[in-house]
């Protein structure tokens, strides 16, 4: 048995698809809505979502890096994996007036990278004869369906984020 890692089949570029935004935003609510979307779609549990959190106070504001790791098991052989990186640069709070309500928003530059792939639980290098038959006749055709499904979900998630922050392009 080989110790090779499971196979990864990216549905996004490996560096992820990017959303970049520089307008004042309700980051707490965006963060909350993104978590809810991931939980509602079976990709995350509150306790296991955040993998890394780094915050640096700078003279021009606060820089924050957050990494989320999401997974959804599809079968004994396949899982969906999504990695979400947040990079907030020069963040500071601002107060804005919306109609008769004053709201505290965060200004600065926000970049979100979303990368996703389908993981095949076994390394194809370790396959025996029956594994190869199963892979080519059953698993590989399913892989395309799973990749299409994950691709669709990731781009719906991206649209959800863009709609929330009011990014139209």
CB 66 within 8 A of CB 85: yes
Domain extent for 116: 7-165
**pLDDT > 70: percent of the chain:** 91
pLDDT at 126 over 90: no
pLDDT tens by residue, 4-56: 566 889 999 988 999 999 998 898 899 999 999 999 999 987 677 889 999 99
**DSSP labels, 5-46:** PPEEEESS-TT-EEEEE-S-B-HHHHHHHHHHHHHHTTS--G
Select from 13, 18, 12 the least CA-distant residue to 147. 12
The pTM score is 0.84
**What confidence tier does 125 reach under pLDDT thresholds 50, 70, 90?**
low
**pLDDT > 90: percent of the chain:** 53
Name the β-bridge partners of 96.
Answer: 103
Give the residue carrying structure tokens 């021009």.
60
pLDDT at 131 over 80: no
Select from 118, 110, 113 the least CA-distant residue to 152. 118
pLDDT tens by residue, 48-94: 788 999 999 998 889 999 999 999 999 878 899 999 999 999 988 88
Select from 39, 56, 74, 49 the least CA-distant residue to 149. 74
Mean pLDDT estimate for the chain: 87
Name the β-bridge partners of 114.
Answer: 17, 84
In a domain, 84, yes or no: yes
In a domain, 131, yes or no: yes
Name the β-bridge partners of 62.
Answer: 57, 91
Average pLDDT over residues 115-130: 77
In a domain, 1, yes or no: no
**Count: domains in the chain:** 1
Give the residue carrying structure tokens 């957050």.
66
Contacts of 74 (CB under 8 A, 6+ apart): 80, 118, 146
């Amino acid at each position: 048995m080989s110790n090779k890692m499971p196979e990864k089949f990216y549905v996004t570029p490996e560096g992820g698809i990017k959303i970049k935004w520089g307008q004042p935003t309700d980051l707490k609510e965006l963060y909350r809505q993104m978590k809810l979307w991931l939980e509602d779609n079976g990709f995350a549990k509150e306790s296991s979502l955040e993998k890394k959190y780094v915050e640096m106070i700078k003279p021009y504001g606060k820089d924050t890096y957050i990494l989320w790791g999401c997974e959804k098991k599809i079968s004994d052989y396949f899982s969906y994996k999504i990695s979400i990186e947040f990079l907030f640069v020069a963040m500071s709070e601002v107060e804005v007036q919306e109609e008769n309500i004053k709201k505290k928003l965060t200004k600065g530059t926000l970049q979100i990278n979303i990368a996703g792939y389908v993981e095949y639980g076994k390394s194809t290098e370790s396959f025996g004869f029956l594994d190869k038959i199963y892979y080519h006749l059953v698993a590989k055709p399913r892989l395309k369906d799973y990749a299409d499904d994950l691709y669709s979900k990731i781009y719906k998630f991206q649209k959800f984020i863009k709609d929330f922050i009011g990014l139209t392009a």
